[in-house]
Structure 1
Amino acid sequence: MLIDIDFKQSKIDECNNRLKEQCTDEEHQKYSIGMENICDRIRKGVYYTGLSFEHDIELFSDNEVVGKWDSFRSEVDYKDNYGVCDNYEQVLSTYKGLYDPERKFVVSLAEIRKDEQPEQWGWRWEKWGEYIGLQNPQADYLFDEPEIERVFVYHIYEIE
């Protein structure tokens, strides 16, 4: 089943204090994080995040990620726990194993936008797992896609 992560302000403060001890004031201001920098909750257990949400979970909550580094594979869905989609609903409808009441999961989605891609060496389809969306990829790089403006890289984490 999908669960929410309970991020702890005390853990965020601890991280910022360690940062302050090791950096200049200017660096501390630039790199300090707040609760709003970690993620945006879309719905229970589903978050807009960066590409390394597992680190945020383990650093700033009391939860632990099971099967890190893509070792979890759903016995129900026979798919990897990461890939590319157009929206979170596609992930929820594709992975029926997310609704197993004996297990706990969260889903992260990192937006990848065409208008933010460099002309060369940008985001490539083949590096991020299976595409479960409805658009029609036609190029190797997102920058070169004639019709696709954005996608999301998703990752499913099992939580202890």
Structure 2
Amino acid sequence: MAIGDADTGSCRSRFAERRTACTSRAQDRGAAQRSKVQVVFYLLHTYIEHAIKSGGAMPLHHNVDPKFPYDGPDFDEFCIAENGYLKASRDRSPCISCALSKLCQAGFEKQVHLAVEGKDPSLTKDCELTASDLTAERLLAGLTEEEIAFVKTYISSLAEECGNG
């Protein structure tokens, strides 16, 4: 069976359940202690995994290639390197050379998809995570050495957890 046939629905429902399970548990378990950067990074990691499992990116009707101006609805997106929110309509060319570009691109495409559907494009709204979701082992799994070094630079709690803090 090809990826995307019968198992796509179950993959999507597991993904929706994982995302829905994402906010109140995190708040109840001391989400204030976890950095927003870790949560965003976890979600980006999850979106890229989902895109791979479902056979590729979502079809979009707006340019999302950072080499060209974005032409869709504007929203704020969280940038790990900037540790803050930036407008989607900004010049995204610096994203091209960013070590996390593949992760962030998947998150950006998800946000565009949500915005086009008229939904809140926030990746963290109603997101409930467990402490095990945000461990260094989970967050760094599958990343290249360059990506790991980048993440440790910008998410100090991960560097500390790995003994590099």
Q: Going by fraction, where is strand more abundant, 1 or 2?
A: 1
Q: Going by fraction, where is helix more abundant, 1 or 2?
A: 2
